[in-house]
Structure 1
Amino acid sequence: MEKYAVVVAGGSGLRMGTTIPKQFLLVRDKPLLWYTLNAFLDSFADMQIILVLPEQHIQTGQDILRSTYDPDRIWMTVGGETRFHSVRNGLQHIKKHSIVFVHDGVRCLLTPQLIRRCYDAAVDKGNAIPATTAVDTIRIDTVNGNEQIDRNKVRIIQTPQTFFSDIIINAFEQDFHESFTDEASVVERLGVKINLIEGESTNIKITRPLDLLIAEKVLEEREMGL
């Protein structure tokens, strides 16, 4: 089956305290986005990637694209006002029945193995959303203050969120709603049951300076085969 990854990379460097967008920050002399793109290229020989970037960063994206080992399988499009609109712009380039992965460009530590597991589960059940179990004590705000909830029932959602193309393309024909925080929430609004699979503890979203140090260590250990 055809495979497309819509990689959305529209973040800023505000929480990093930098003027450089997060996806272009360097880890081990490579931009975060470079690792993300190569993970998808490594996952399947027929994977096609649609990279969605803000218009002002298209040239930088082109430079990173050309530095991957198979740039012919990647093309680019311009993002929109919100993540929802950026994903919609990427989906417009998919014309064939396929499996579609939507991924945060700054989750640069995902592995080809996770991508393949998402694919297998989506083929079987129509969608696959990687998630991990909460390890901290969880409390929720209530009208009376706050209360503890069972952390074993809490799932931390990751990407790539993976769907049959007809499901996700149809879902993104809806008008934007403020409750759309990820692709699963868009699809779920149409009444589709969301299927969670086990994610990866290292598949973090690079947001803070500490995350860069974690990414550096994880990538170093992978290079050493640890």
Structure 2
Amino acid sequence: MTGVFYFRYPTSSMPDDNQDPKTQSNQDLRETPRFAILVAGGSGTRMGAAKPKQFLDLLGEPVLLHTLRRFSETPLRVQQCVVVLPAEQFSTWHQLCAEHRVQLPHAVVAGGATRWASVRNGLAYLADQSSGTVAVHDGVRPLVPASVIEECFATAEAHGTAVAAVVPKDSVRNLSQQGSYALDRARLRLVQTPQCFELELLRRAYQLPELPTFTDDASVVEDLHPIQLVSGDYRNLKITTPEDLLLAEAILRSTT
């Protein structure tokens, strides 16, 4: 497939040598295949950094490596992780993987001009998969708890969709021609990732033309299927500014 760069690391989904092969086979048949698309197309402009924010150092490792590890090492079996990067960043990621001796199985796919196009490219890599559940996650959300990943997959497997979200902490106002007015924050949610979907549902949604109103995957899917919200986590921050990186470092230090 054009624009796909492969890392052929040992697979993390090999059977346990101490487990009966028949039992392992039966478990595999019962499990819904799970996939993760990690979208990392940032340039680092708002960070004021010399390199893309997904490659910035976070306690000795690139931000994107922390994110990849969250999905590769979750107690759930994620059969395939797909990292979506701008093609010109492939060599940098390859060098970082070599430097940090990364053994986490994943594929790297070239992104598009927009986030929508990048997710579509990630889905194209999974074209040979007939069914399953896929999580789409921001590559610069490196602190997503395993519990949020698990809840999103479980809810999507039951209802077709699942989007992590949290209640706003601050008061929120809407702008109008007359000034502004308060909104009931109890009825509002701040959307995070992962956003999980039944694989074929997400494929159908991404066959539709791109629209300016598509700000995330939920907005792409919502005309086809109701969106289920699950509890996110305030620690699951998206690293966008220098302050976010400092906060992420503090959170990691407090949990290690």
Same fold (TM over 0.5): yes
Unpaired runs of at least 5, structure 2 = 1-31
Alignment partner of 1:27 is 2:61: no
Equivalent residue in structure 2 for 1:162, among 166, 189, 196: 196
Runs of 4+ in 1 over 6 A off after TM superposition: none
Equivalent residue, structure 2, for 1:8: 39
TM-score, scaled relative to structure 2: 0.83
1:19-58 equivalences in 2 (<5 Å): 19-43=50-74, 44-58=76-90
Measured at CA, do residues 4 and 63 of structure 1 come closer, stay the same or move farther in structure 2, by a change above 3 Å?
farther
**Residues 38 and 68 of structure 1 are in contact (CA less than 8 Å); yes or no, is this contact kept in structure 2?**
no
One-letter amino acid of the structure 1 residue matched with residue 38 of structure 2: V
Alignment partner of 1:212 is 2:245: yes
Greater gyration radius: 2
Measured at CA, do residues 149 and 112 of structure 1 come closer, stay the same or move farther in structure 2, by a change above 3 Å?
same
Q: Secondary structure of the residue that 2:125 maps to in structure 1?
A: coil
Q: CA RMSD in A?
A: 1.3
Equivalent residue in structure 2 for 1:141, among 166, 175, 182: 175
User: 1:70 offset after TM fit, Å?
Assistant: 3.6
Equivalent residue in structure 2 for 1:122, among 137, 156, 160: 156
Q: Secondary structure of the residue that 1:215 maps to in structure 2?
A: helix
Residues 198-207 or 46-55, more deviating: 46-55
Equivalent residue, structure 1, for 2:3: none
Aligned equivalents of 2:247 and 2:101: distance in 1?
23
Q: Deviations over 1:189-223 (max 9, x none)?
A: 33x10000000110010011111111101111111
Alignment partner of 1:199 is 2:238: no
State the number of aligned residues. 221
**Residues 123 and 203 of structure 2 are in contact (CA less than 8 Å); yes or no, is this contact kept in structure 1?**
yes
**Residues 41 and 85 of structure 2 are in contact (CA less than 8 Å); yes or no, is this contact kept in structure 1?**
yes
Aligned equivalents of 2:113 and 2:248: distance in 1?
29
1:62-73 equivalences in 2 (<5 Å): 62-65=94-97, 67=100, 70-71=103-104, 73=105
Aligned equivalents of 1:58 and 1:167: distance in 2?
29
Equivalent residue, structure 2, for 1:187: 221
Aligned equivalents of 1:177 and 1:212: distance in 2?
31
One-letter amino acid of the structure 1 residue matched with residue 62 of structure 2: P
User: 1:135 offset after TM fit, Å?
Assistant: 1.1
Q: Secondary structure of the residue that 1:12 maps to in structure 2?
A: coil
Q: Secondary structure of the residue that 1:159 maps to in structure 2?
A: strand
Equivalent residue in structure 2 for 1:107, among 141, 149, 159: 141
Unpaired runs of at least 5, structure 1 = none
User: 1:68 offset after TM fit, Å?
Assistant: 6.4
User: 1:27 offset after TM fit, Å?
Assistant: 1.0
Aligned equivalents of 1:125 and 1:62: distance in 2?
37
**Residues 38 and 83 of structure 2 are in contact (CA less than 8 Å); yes or no, is this contact kept in structure 1?**
yes
TM-score, scaled relative to structure 1: 0.94
Q: Deviations over 1:27-77 (max 9, x none)?
A: 111110010000001113443100000011011222344546543x20011
Q: Secondary structure of the residue that 2:196 maps to in structure 1?
A: strand
Q: Deviations over 1:123-181 (max 9, x none)?
A: 11111000000110100011211100101111000001000001101100111100000
Aligned equivalents of 1:101 and 1:61: distance in 2?
21
One-letter amino acid of the structure 1 residue matched with residue 235 of structure 2: T
User: 1:19 offset after TM fit, Å?
Assistant: 2.1
Aligned equivalents of 1:115 and 1:63: distance in 2?
28
Aligned equivalents of 1:5 and 1:68: distance in 2?
21
